[in-house]
Amino acid sequence: MDSGNGQTAGIRRLGSWIEAYEEYTEILPSPPIYRRWVAMFYISAAMERKVWVRTMGSDLYPNLYVLLVGPPGVGKGQAIHTGEEILRAVPDLHVGPTDMTSASLIDALNESARRIVRLGDPPYIEFNSLTVISRELGVLIPSWETALMNNLTDIYDGFMVDQKRRGKELHIQIRCPQINLLGACTPSYLNETLPAGAWDQGFISRTVMVYSGDRVQRDPFAEGGIFQRLHDDLLHDLKTIANEYGQMNFTKPAAQAIRAWINGGCQPEPNHYKLRYYNTRRIAHLLKLCIIASMDRSGDKIIGIEHYSQALNWLIEAETYMPDIFKSMTMTGGDSGAMEETWAYVWTLFKKENRPIAEHRIVHFLRERVPAHAIMKILEVMVKSKMLEIHIDQGTFQGYKPVPRRQHDTTT
């Protein structure tokens, strides 16, 4: 049925697709932030170029480039796999191969043509939309290929693709392209694959990097069969989302809140120098997340103040952990190197002050060097390996003392 805002697809079974996906994947050893962003991505992919908002005189679509970043074994691929099976069951969506060159990417996008007949004006719409899912980004992008990254950058913005290749025998022209990209990688992959200038280029500034180092423990013998009904509801509602069409509109309070956030400098803003070009695109990221937050719960195509608040919370949560990616990339010697640096720091302070070093000072020192999730683990290992010892006076914890190097070297 066509309404003033667009086409209404059908009745939902779930109050929130994202919350339901988090519940459905609770059995997996994967951090909540991964599973939440994967759910947001699948809603984005289902909408293709069928839902949009108007901003600065043009249409903005909700396509996302999302990278799950973390050390090996934290559940990046598991968060992706479960939802990929649901997305692939949605009719007419095109999911591309996971191993592509620049040329094969354009070929796959060219084959992802969509023509949707609808009751209204215009009577049909045409576009090309491709979803790329890579549970191991090194397979998709084994090395930095400039042509591939430039194509991903242009297509993210919806610019027309016009290419002649293979001796000018093949002419590909795609007027309305779109790509949604979801990948997973380790910080070391980024460190080894991205050249120094990549952080100043378009692809990375258009990508939301979601970091977690938390290893989630789950019962290895737990069964997921009880979630069949939830699986069916997730698939039903994702099909419903995929059938939506039309422009979304902001309520006056939502529009005022977004303007106030922009006028206030888009605070809080990531302050790592490698994110300075990412920061220039945070407004677009926020507006895309507003679309997703609204579509998550209904197809009324209204973005209210509650959707803006949810979108901003999602964005800030991801951005809070982004600097940990660079700490993991640049930390020399792994945890061992960090422990040696910490021991030297505590030893210097102890020799100068001749008293136990308060825990908060050591934590602050480590915060500048390792991801947040590793801080207490490093302290615990340093105590167990006799690099530091806990000092207690009259039953009260006072801090840490460094064990002289010759002593802890013989015990580790």
Q: Are residues 232 and 340 in the same domain?
A: no
Q: Distance between CA 308 and CA 129 in Å, rounded?
A: 26
Q: Are residues 323 and 348 in the same domain?
A: no
Q: Mark which of 329, 362, 395 sits at the end of a domain.
A: 329
Strands of the 58-60 sheet, one edge to the other: 2-3, 6-7, 245-247, 51-55, 58-60
Predicted confidence at residue 69, as pLDDT, reads: 96
Q: Which of 410, 401, 412, 398 is nearest to 343 (CA)?
A: 401
Q: Are residues 308 and 387 in the same domain?
A: no
Q: Are residues 343 and 271 in the same domain?
A: no
Q: Which residues of the chain have pLDDT under 70?
A: 1-9, 165-168, 223-226, 330-335, 406-412
Q: Which domain holds residue 59?
A: 2-329
Predicted confidence at residue 1, as pLDDT, reads: 32
Q: Are residues 232 and 113 in the same domain?
A: yes
- Write phi, then psi, for 303 (nearest 5 degrees): -105, 110
Q: Mark which of 329, 350, 369 sits at the end of a domain.
A: 329
Record the tokens describing residue 193, joined without a space: 């694959």
Record the tokens describing residue 395, joined without a space: 């039953």
CA-based max dimension of the chain:
85
Predicted confidence at residue 250, as pLDDT, reads: 98
Q: Mark which of 283, 312, 329 sits at the end of a domain.
A: 329
Q: Are residues 179 and 244 in the same domain?
A: yes
Q: Are residues 369 and 276 in the same domain?
A: no
Q: Are residues 338 and 319 in the same domain?
A: no
Q: Distance between CA 206 and CA 64 in Å, rounded?
A: 8
Q: How many domains does the chain have?
A: 2
Q: Are residues 116 and 236 in the same domain?
A: yes
**Residue 354, domain CATH:** 1.10.10
Predicted confidence at residue 10, as pLDDT, reads: 79
**Residue 312, domain CATH:** 3.40.50
Q: Model confidence over 43-55: pLDDT tens digits?
A: 999 999 999 999 9
Q: Are residues 345 and 298 in the same domain?
A: no
Q: Are residues 309 and 343 in the same domain?
A: no
Residue 10, C-beta contacts closer than 8 angstroms, at least 6 positions apart: 240, 243, 299
CA neighbours within 13 Å on the CB side: how many for 279?
15
Q: Are residues 114 and 257 in the same domain?
A: yes
Predicted confidence at residue 332, as pLDDT, reads: 46
Predicted confidence at residue 5, as pLDDT, reads: 45
Predicted confidence at residue 312, as pLDDT, reads: 98
